Structure 1
Amino acid sequence: MTIPTESSTGFISSAKVGAILVFQGFFSIYLISFLITGSNYNSTYNYFNFLADAFLHGKLYLEQPLHTLDLIQYKELWYVPFPPLPALLMLPFVALLGPQQINAAIFSLTLGSINVTLVYLMLEALVIRGWSNLRPRDNLMLTGLFGVGSVHWYLAVVGDVWFISQICTLTFVLLATLLCLKSASPWIVGACLAIAVLARPNIALTLPLLIGIEVLHLQQKSGDGKIIRKQLFKWSFAVIIPMLLAVACLLLYNFLRFENPTDFGYLQQNISKKLYDNLHTYGQFNLNFIPANFEALFLLLPQLNLSIPNIVPDTHGMSIFLTMPILFYIFKLRHFSPLKIGALVSLGALLVPLLTYYNTGWTQFGYRFTLDFIVPLLVLLAVALGKRLPRRGIALIIWGVLVNGWGTFWFLTNYFV
């Protein structure tokens, strides 16, 4: 079997031009969204810019934080419980400008624009490999679906500690997936996923998708479809080692903060009383939380607010099939290849900690934890759609954009008040 290459298809130049235009277009959309709703707003719940400043001064805690919501007080010092990747990415900017001059929303929406660009390149790479048959215009529409037809839109333009962590995580998951599709060194692929783990450790469960991609590579190279087990083992070893190093770094980080390598401090967080009761009754993960999380992900609908009166989003979450209805096309998947199996395994594995988590994402539009598993979702959608987006699919994308536009401007307008 002949494996398509960028040079043989002639996509390399068009993909680069397309990537530049996608970045410019979505950076403009995100910036305008931010300016319309909060032009002078700089999040006081970011924390990561101040944590970066603390790192630069040899400290792991915040001195005199403006707010303490979701922070941890340990031995009379305030700590950020969330893994430190966003702070690490901000280090050079904080060193140059100072923590007060870092607008976390601008930082976040820039990364968000990069995310949309990486989605476009990932979809194009699937076509180059011959694993997706979509036309360039269809890939652009799916890119638009991700950029303004999913929860990524509003999450990218806020900049608060909870949201920016998800945006940073997604950047490196997309990088790992794109590089894997391009047959990059497994050490580099593993390093990208390892960096994502430094923001959200559960994202390591994306690994089955990457394994599925590599299995398909090996099948194509072997000609007769047989998997060379020794090569797959060597590849997996090279990917996993950087991830283990990332885990070791997190354990050390926890030990230096709380004298316990496995303690992220979540049980001592300064959180809402409603969340506190659940957390301390059942723990951070428990089967008792499945019904509420399942409802937030699949079942919740907008609510009628009689005091306005108006229809408003349910701030506990909303059905993913309302906010991204084109995902129904995933159920058309047939003839399961290693790529599809890997994506499905990643999707299922990533849902386990999310569905058993002690909260649904708190105040939000849609289900914000969708970003944790949106990469395997997009891969499955691209291969399930066949040769082109049907008209019904285009209509569903438009619906998703309208719903997310409504939800984004509702959330930003109310959230910044």
Structure 2
Amino acid sequence: MKLTRYSSALILVCLVMFTVLVLLFNLYMSLLGDFSGYTELARSLINKRLDLTHISIQEDYATYDSKYYLHQGPFPAVLLIPFVFVSDLIKIQFQQSFLHFFVFLGTLFICFKIARLFKYGDEDSFYFAYAFCLSSVYQSVSIIPISPYLSQVVSVFFTLLAIYEFLVKRRYFLVGLYSSFALTTRSISGLVIIFFIIEILTNKRYEFRKRVLSLFKLLFPYILAIISLMLYNQIRFMNPFDSGYMKVTTLPLISSLFSLSYIPMNFYYYFVNTFKIHFESSRDLMLSKIFSIVPNIKVVEPGTSFFIVSPFFLNVFRANFKKRIVGISLVPIFTILIVLLAYYSPGWVQVGPRYMIDVLPFIFILLLHSFKSRRLSLKAKFLILFSSIFNFYLFLTIFL
């Protein structure tokens, strides 16, 4: 009984502590560097431009015709337009880290609500939300407000919102709209639409007319988003299929962004690679009296494997794969994962493979189906909390 009470207190303390840390680090990073890719794109959109008039050495840009462009999806900039517009009017600089932080809070909330839909109690639902945002690869991405990371947290938020809407009311127009927001933020996240298409096509309760109508409602905003992206690319690069990735100034000399030959390398970095441990003399006077030699753990570029950063997610292998929603969830997971593994790089310097965030919402669905009793054990709860602290330690060894 006491341990249960402690687990309730611990999740509250850790949640408050890490929420404050995420806020402080976002603000600190904004002071430390110029992370303004999306705020500058929002400012350009206000001024009816698509190129950027201000660039930063902390961001990567695509260049074309002597102009600089943001190669990430444009939707986060659309979200920032009213805030940038007002801040420019009153002569106050608006930081995109503000959006970064509030998207983090929104993701926590949506994960909690989704867990509650699966009949978990309030405390366990908080643990699941905490595991998603702070005991996984999501943690380090939520801390740094650089534009590529902002695009990831925004796309994940709208993917979760689409899943939540599907689970609650199944208003397919809204599901398609949220999916289109994910698509126009990060192209690969747009593949989440596969889940909803398969659900509609294989749902035996739907008559033909309802199936067609549901597909129309789902795909209408999504197709409009595709057309909008193509027009956006056509205006910028004179090619509707060119998003600008191959024009990024820091891109290494490669023949292709995607190739099956990259899969073995990426599989190793995503699921096998560990951290580096070396032993050194203790610098702490008190500790040196007990241990003269202490281990030093450090992340090896380009990061540790997913299940080292997110050990709680190993429970997905216990999911009830006979459940229809679990089986359908596997389709976008493997589809997106194959694309990620075929990409030329597993990512920048990072704690874990941050691109796994793109499949994390559907892995979360599997995770929620992994506990038959709909209750988390004390061991599972403490693993979640320990992982968040350990991940933050690994983050500090890289970025500080």
Rounded Cα–Cα distance in structure 1 between residues aligned with 2:227 and 2:15: 36
How do residues 285-304 of structure 1 correspond to structure 2 at under 5 angstroms? 285-304=258-277
**TM-score calculated relative to the size of structure 1:** 0.82
2:333 aligns to what? 347
Amino acid across the alignment from 1:60: L
Q: What displacement does 1:24 show?
A: 12
Change (3 A) 1:335 1:401: same
The one of 261, 267, 270 equivalent to 2:246 is 267
Residue 108 (structure 2) pairs with residue 116 (structure 1)? yes
Amino acid across the alignment from 1:266: Y
Amino acid across the alignment from 1:44: D
Q: What displacement does 1:395 show?
A: 4.0
1:156 aligns to what? 142
1:137 aligns to what? 123
Amino acid across the alignment from 1:294: F
2:359 aligns to what? 373
Contact 1:108–1:167 (CA under 8 A) maintained in structure 2: yes
Q: Structure 1 stretch 185-194 or stretch 95-104: which is displaced more?
A: 95-104
2:292 aligns to what? none
Rounded Cα–Cα distance in structure 1 between residues aligned with 2:34 and 2:353: 23
RMSD: 2.7
Residue 97 (structure 2) pairs with residue 105 (structure 1)? yes
Task: Kindly provide the CA deviation profile for residues 130-159 of structure 1, in whole angstroms up to 9, marking residues without a partner as x.
Answer: xxxx33322221111112211222211211
Rounded Cα–Cα distance in structure 1 between residues aligned with 2:66 and 2:200: 49
Q: What displacement does 1:327 show?
A: 1.9
Q: What displacement does 1:46 show?
A: 3.2
Rounded Cα–Cα distance in structure 2 between residues aligned with 1:257 and 1:307: 53
2:66 aligns to what? 76
Contact 2:37–2:59 (CA under 8 A) maintained in structure 1: no
Residue 236 (structure 2) pairs with residue 257 (structure 1)? yes
Identical columns (%): 23
Residue 47 (structure 2) pairs with residue 57 (structure 1)? yes
Q: What displacement does 1:369 show?
A: 1.0
Task: Kindly provide the CA deviation profile for residues 379-413 of structure 1, in whole angstroms up to 9, marking residues without a partner as x.
Answer: 101012111223443343234223222233334x4
How do residues 5-404 of structure 1 correspond to structure 2 at under 5 angstroms? 29-35=18-24, 39=28, 41-42=30-31, 43-67=33-57, 69-98=59-88, 101-127=93-119, 134-211=120-197, 222=205, 227-271=206-250, 275-277=251-253, 280-281=254-255, 283-304=256-277, 310-387=296-373, 388-404=375-391
Q: Structure 1 stretch 400-409 or stretch 286-295: which is displaced more?
A: 400-409
Report the 3-state secondary structure (helix = DSSP H, G, I; strand = E; otherwise coil) of the residue aligned with 1:378.
Answer: helix
Q: What displacement does 1:320 show?
A: 1.2
Report the 3-state secondary structure (helix = DSSP H, G, I; strand = E; otherwise coil) of the residue aligned with 1:365.
Answer: coil
Rounded Cα–Cα distance in structure 2 between residues aligned with 1:48 and 1:366: 24
Contact 2:177–2:222 (CA under 8 A) maintained in structure 1: yes
Q: What displacement does 1:296 show?
A: 1.7
Rounded Cα–Cα distance in structure 2 between residues aligned with 1:251 and 1:335: 38
Task: Kindly provide the CA deviation profile for residues 187-211 of structure 1, in whole angstroms up to 9, marking residues without a partner as x.
Answer: 1110011011001111122124335
Report the 3-state secondary structure (helix = DSSP H, G, I; strand = E; otherwise coil) of the residue aligned with 1:101.
Answer: coil
Q: What displacement does 1:64 show?
A: 4.2
Amino acid across the alignment from 1:405: F
2:286 aligns to what? none
Amino acid across the alignment from 1:237: F
Contact 2:73–2:184 (CA under 8 A) maintained in structure 1: yes
Change (3 A) 1:190 1:164: same
Rounded Cα–Cα distance in structure 2 between residues aligned with 1:289 and 1:40: 32
1:19 aligns to what? none
Rounded Cα–Cα distance in structure 2 between residues aligned with 1:403 and 1:232: 47
Rounded Cα–Cα distance in structure 2 between residues aligned with 1:213 and 1:395: 35
Change (3 A) 1:24 1:54: farther
**TM-score calculated relative to the size of structure 2:** 0.85
Change (3 A) 1:37 1:269: closer
Amino acid across the alignment from 2:19: Y
Change (3 A) 1:28 1:237: farther
Extract unaligned runs of 5+ from structure 2.
1-10, 282-294
Extract unaligned runs of 5+ from structure 1.
1-21, 128-133
Task: Kindly provide the CA deviation profile for residues 154-181 of structure 1, in whole angstroms up to 9, marking residues without a partner as x.
Answer: 2112110110010111111111111111
Q: What displacement does 1:38 show?
A: 6.0
Change (3 A) 1:84 1:203: same
Change (3 A) 1:192 1:170: same
Task: Kindly provide the CA deviation profile for residues 329-373 of structure 1, in whole angstroms up to 9, marking residues without a partner as x.
Answer: 221233522201111111111102111111111111111112101
The one of 381, 396, 400 equivalent to 1:409 is 396
Amino acid across the alignment from 1:248: I
1:14 aligns to what? none
Report the 3-state secondary structure (helix = DSSP H, G, I; strand = E; otherwise coil) of the residue aligned with 2:347.
Answer: coil
Amino acid across the alignment from 2:271: F
